[in-house]
Chain A
Amino acid sequence: MSFSLVKRWCETPLMRRVLQFKVYRRKIQSYNMTYTLLRHRWMKRLPTAVFSSSFSTQTDKDTIDLSKFPVDRVRNFCIIAHIDHGKSTLADRLLEMTGAIATTDKNKQVLDKLQVERERGITVKAQTASLIYSHQGQQYLLNLIDTPGHVDFSYEVSRSISACQGVLLIVDANQGIQAQTVANFYLAFEAQLAIIPVINKIDLKNADPERVETQIEKVFDIPREECIRISAKLGTNVDKVLQAVVDRIPAPVASTDEPFKALVFDSNFDHYRGVVANIAVFGGRVKKGDRIVSAYLGKTYEVNELGLLRPHEHPTQKLFAGQVGYIIAGMKDVKEAQIGDTLYLQEQPVEALPGFKPAKAMVFAGMYPMDQSEYPGLRSAIERLTLNDSSVTVQRDSSMALGAGWRLGFLGLLHMEVFNQRLEQEYNASVIVTAPTVPYKAVLSSPKLIKEHGSEEITIVNPAQFPDRSVVSEYLEPMVLGTILSPDTYTGKIMTLCLNRRGIQKNMVYIDDQRVMMKYLFPLNEIVVDFYDLLKSLSSGYASFDYENAGYQAADLIKMNILLNGQPVEELITIVHRGRAYSAGKAMCERLKDSIPRQMFEVAVQASIGSKVIARETIKAYRKNVLAKCYGGDITRKMKLLKKQAEGKKKMRRIGNVEVPKDAFINVLKRKDK
């Protein structure tokens, strides 16, 4: 097997930017080797002559001639896997072996650019890399579309999948099938993609590929012979994977003879060049200077630049049917590059592709600056971050206790965590994040209200706006179908936990003689806060969990008020299931009791439903609060203390006659630290 002729064609542009002079020297030394100059915007100032390649077959140093890759020489695929099963390592190897990046020890998660991705070992943002691969004397263009592994990002996954014809389903030879493996499999299966099972980490001591093959056979109904056993870390059998991509994944169905038609499956924002849209060409061809139209907006743009992602942008002259690449066409706003939009040539209108359902936020959380003076900074950080993650919904919100902030909607819990982490790491913003809530729905019964809202069914994101039972015929809550995989020794404990969370078991199968897969229907509300942590701790970390949305179901929901000496606290209103009201109320009262300082009078902390009190804690009054000794020498210290208290007093929120420090709200509202 030989690698592409354009092997080592490019170093990563970033490397080149950082090591411009080093590269320069190396180029001279290796004058007769296979290096070829890639004209890149960072390199423009360097004299091109020095870099002229002596490589005879590659005369045009600027472009890869994509016309050499007709549709039947193109394969579009993605890699899906449970977290840490080695997806990114395999991607690194594929990139190296096809010469997209140099082979060094330093290639670790090349496609995971974000700090959060590298730290958590996950992919958040889909990346694309075009690989040029020679197989049986033919050159193939393999487009690897890297997908986020987690179902929270299934929106990104399904977008990526729609541009693919096949997937590599990676399973750890030691851990076997995990919850995310199952969830991802179904996404691919439903999209009718060719699935190539790859068993990774066979070099590990405890690797048991036999067993994993059995699981794959049992759970996914894929014959064990189709599995490829590899070690991505050592590179073992990775070439077989490339061969399988060519042999088993069908070429995209597209023709260069048709009019140009492309799907926008992702977009990024670049401050200098505007929107960079990732497209899959479904028909025809497109070149620099073409005038293209967005089917969604009807706006016309001129193509300024296009090319392959290898994984870094590599400009080419044209893109042809079946190929995947990027396009820059003077779009100034990410909203102009609507994901799922269809692009076509101005003079040749086509019917728009089906596109995607927009992602729906399923987990909401309030976000507030630690200090109100940090509001503008946090605002711009959130704006910048949402620019590249259009799935986050942003709504301004304000709380009497926490000040001005936002209510953000996320696709799921991990999505929320990743967003927070990026906010902190990339924008250095410190925020108070409130405990997540889910969007409830109410079916209104009063014609007047229906008229007011313009629909019979309303969605409630802010608990304070929860409509009264009397005007509602039914409340609905979002449900999810959860998949849990675990060694069977923990089955009992897990079932108890699920039952406590109002889970209904749908299914339970042994995927081999020790591991069980359970499916439960859960109210989303029951799993958003601490379910995953509890599951992990009761199974010593062995159980894995994943979920997919499963619509709405009628639920017996009630609004719970928290009262301080009889006065309701607006920001603590909570929507709970009737059966969970008591324990939720008790927990909130306890947390409040611990965080409200003693006052000069007794404070009753109560949880109530309607006029009925369901939980109560009492903060006893101070009986003595005075410094015993205070003479001349002590004043300075004493004054400082009192002044600090006076300052704190100014910031306290008064509920009736009770003074509540901001910290108390934070303690009650924020997510518990893990």
Chain B
Amino acid sequence: MIKHTLPAARRAFSPGLRCFSEASGGEISEDVFERAGHPRLTKQASLYVHWPYCLRRCSYCNFNKYIRRENNDHMMTECLQRETETLLQLSQVSCITSVFFGGGTPSLAHPSTIAAVLESVSRRAYLSDKAEVTLEVNPTPVGKSKLEDYCRAGVNRFSIGVQSLQDGDLKILGRDHSSHQALQTVEEARRLCPGRVSVDVMFGRPKQSAESWENELSELLRVCDDHVSLYQLTLERGTQLFKQVLGGEVTMPAEDVTAEMYQCARRILHQHGFLQYEVSNFARHKAVSHHNTSYWKGRQYIGVGPGAHGRFVPRGEGGVVREARTQTLEPDVWIREVQQRGHGTRRRIQLSHLELLEEVLVMGMRMSKGINHKHWELFSPQLGLHEVFGISNDVQELLQSGQLILDDRGLRCSWDGLALLDSILPALLVMLERQISQRLQMDHHADGQTKRISNPQ
């Protein structure tokens, strides 16, 4: 009975909720524990802040971004602050582990905006001085000139969108900076945050060859800091580049060529001491991105700003189930909503236990270390990795062919397997669904309906 009344009680006492929930933490029944996650999971989160504006549209980008007609910095700042506070309150997290300002082009935001948001965070939750605060930077001279101010505002890590060192390619991609400007920005960032600068580069660009990519990468390694993110350029519908390719103006490298580029980059980066810790991310001297790692580890995150996504338990309204939440896309509408009701959450979907595990699996397997037993147990205390995946023929084949590893440490892809992750995941997802639904049926048979969780919302 306690598990039925508990959420209601929480809702009733919501003002003093933090105390209440902490006090009752130990009494939370197994089911609530399983679906809401371990207290370690629900009491902390990372924060993503979306700055939706760009000066221009990159030809390959289909992200949620807008060209601003007039400066609304003041309003944006207020709204970002307000939504941050609302959602922090709703999530009832006591600690924000990292903050990431993405976009759009967040380096268009005034440093004071960044400072204001961070202040809001600190007002509602604990944000350690050491917590990672990353800002995406567009490497233009203007961007570069603001880096110092961003640092003062509280940013301690920069992710710089270098994309390419070929000026011709930057033009095709519609970027508004040169490679020279990008390198200068990297240099400045390294001066300000040594060891905490990441560069983003793109491969599989129009007309790019494996050889030119290798040269470009070597050049980049001479100037970069301790973190590199590599992305294969994906052609997205509705972009200008998509139209150009369709119209035959631009040709993209063949699948085999981009596969070669990826493998060659992995090799070269490895030779330079960069460890691949995720499909597209490489770090040396342990300079991994903590913020992104928390996504891959299935931790809670709160998304603030137009179109931002979040995954957290809204404990502030008595929630016990993690929700997938999306904020309103259009900045103007979002602003109005935040002004009216404190947040612009457009969609909230409760994740079932299976859905939660599916996300944990899909995200976790992107890391080269994969999912260790402890990590999995946090989300699935009753069904271990061996139990879920050990008996499947498909998985056995993957293990035998050396693509997948399941051992004392946990479940992970081999070096070769990681490049084929999207071919591996469907087999794992099929298995996960089968095991979980079997388990559910068994539980039903064992003790009727009592294992079912009544939903407080």
Contact = CB atoms under 8 A, between A and B. Distances in A.
Interface of A: 599-601, 620, 622-633, 635-636, 638-639, 642-643, 645-646, 648-650, 657
Given A631-B292, A636-B324, A624 B430 contact: no
Given A635-B362, A646-B430, A627 B422 contact: yes
B259 A642 contact: no
A623 B263 CA distance: 9
Contacts of B282: none
B279 A642 contact: no
Contacts of B363: 630, 635
Contacts of A630: 279-280, 363, 366
Interface residues of B, number: 47
Contact of B427 (A622, A632, A649): A649
26 contacts: A600-B423, A600-B424, A620-B256, A623-B419, A624-B232, A624-B419, A626-B421, A628-B232, A629-B231, A629-B280, A631-B295, A632-B309, A632-B310, A633-B308, A636-B309, A636-B324, A638-B362, A639-B362, A642-B362, A642-B422, A643-B429, A645-B422, A645-B426, A646-B430, A649-B427, A657-B397
A623 B362 contact: no
A624 B366 contact: no
A622 B262 CA distance: 13
A625 B422 contact: yes
A657 B362 CA distance: 23
B295 A639 contact: no
Contacts of B418: 626
A564 to B, nearest CB: 15
A629 B423 CA distance: 16
Contacts of A650: 430
Contacts of B271: none
Interface in B352-397: 355, 358-359, 362-363, 366, 397
Contacts of B301: 632
Given A600-B403, A642-B362, A628 B430 contact: no
B349 to A, nearest CB: 9
A594 to B, nearest CB: 15
A635 B323 CA distance: 13
Given A630-B366, A632-B303, A636-B324, A625 B433 contact: no
B48 A633 contact: yes
Contacts of A627: 234, 279, 422
A635 B363 CA distance: 8
B453 interface: no
Q: Which 8 A-B pairs have the closest CB atoms?
A: A623-B259, A624-B259, A646-B429, A626-B421, A628-B231, A645-B426, A646-B426, A628-B232
B401 A601 contact: yes
A601 B258 CA distance: 18
Interface string B60-97: 00000000000000000000000000000000000000
A646 B426 CA distance: 4
B172 interface: no
B279 A628 contact: yes
Given A630-B366, A643-B358, A645-B426, A625 B421 contact: yes
Contact of A625 (B231, B362, B420): B420
Contacts of B144: none
Interface of B: 48, 230-232, 234, 255-256, 258-260, 262-263, 279-280, 292, 295, 301, 303, 307-311, 324, 326, 355, 358-359, 362-363, 366, 397, 401, 403, 418-427, 429-430, 433
Contacts of B307: 633
A635 B259 CA distance: 23
Contacts of B234: 627-629
Nearest to A599: B423
A624 B258 contact: yes
Given A631-B295, A632-B311, A642-B429, A626 B303 contact: no
Contacts of A645: 422, 425-426
Contacts of A599: 423
A239 B3 CA distance: 93
A632 B427 CA distance: 23
B419 A626 contact: yes
Nearest to A626: B421
B256 A639 contact: no
Contacts of B295: 631-632, 635
Nearest to A629: B231
B423 A633 contact: no
A635 B422 CA distance: 13
Nearest to B347: A636
B309 A626 contact: no
B433 A626 contact: no
A624 B301 CA distance: 30
Contacts of A642: 362, 422, 425-426, 429
Contacts of B401: 600-601
Contacts of A625: 419-423
A601 to B, nearest CB: 7
A620 to B, nearest CB: 8
Which of A632, A645, A646 is most buried by chain B, counting CB atoms within 10 A of its CB? A632
A646 B433 contact: yes
B253 to A, nearest CB: 12
B238 to A, nearest CB: 14
Nearest to B428: A646
Given A639-B359, A642-B425, A643-B358, A632 B48 contact: yes
A645 to B, nearest CB: 4
A631 B290 CA distance: 12
Contacts of A657: 397
B334 to A, nearest CB: 15
A120 B338 CA distance: 63
B362 to A, nearest CB: 6
B279 A626 contact: yes
A202 to B, nearest CB: 54
A599 to B, nearest CB: 7
Contacts of B259: 622-624
Contacts of A626: 279, 366, 418-422
Contacts of A632: 48, 295, 301, 303, 309-311
Contacts of A631: 292, 295
Nearest to B261: A624
B420 A600 contact: yes
A625 to B, nearest CB: 5
Contacts of B423: 599-600, 622, 625
Contacts of B397: 657
Contacts of A620: 256
Which of A629, A633, A635, A643 is most buried by chain B, counting CB atoms within 10 A of its CB? A633
A635 B421 contact: no
Contacts of B422: 625-627, 642, 645
Given A625-B421, A645-B425, 13 more contacts: A622-B259, A623-B263, A630-B366, A632-B48, A632-B295, A632-B309, A635-B295, A636-B324, A638-B362, A642-B422, A646-B425, A650-B430, A657-B397
Nearest to A627: B422
A631 B361 CA distance: 14
A646 B230 CA distance: 27
A292 B74 CA distance: 99
Contacts of B427: 646, 649
A639 B288 CA distance: 25
A654 to B, nearest CB: 9
A652 to B, nearest CB: 10
A316 B356 CA distance: 77
A650 B255 CA distance: 26
Contacts of B279: 626-628, 630
A620 B292 CA distance: 34
Nearest to A641: B422
A644 B433 CA distance: 13
A660 to B, nearest CB: 15
Nearest to A643: B429
A126 B345 CA distance: 68
A645 B366 CA distance: 17
A657 B401 CA distance: 12
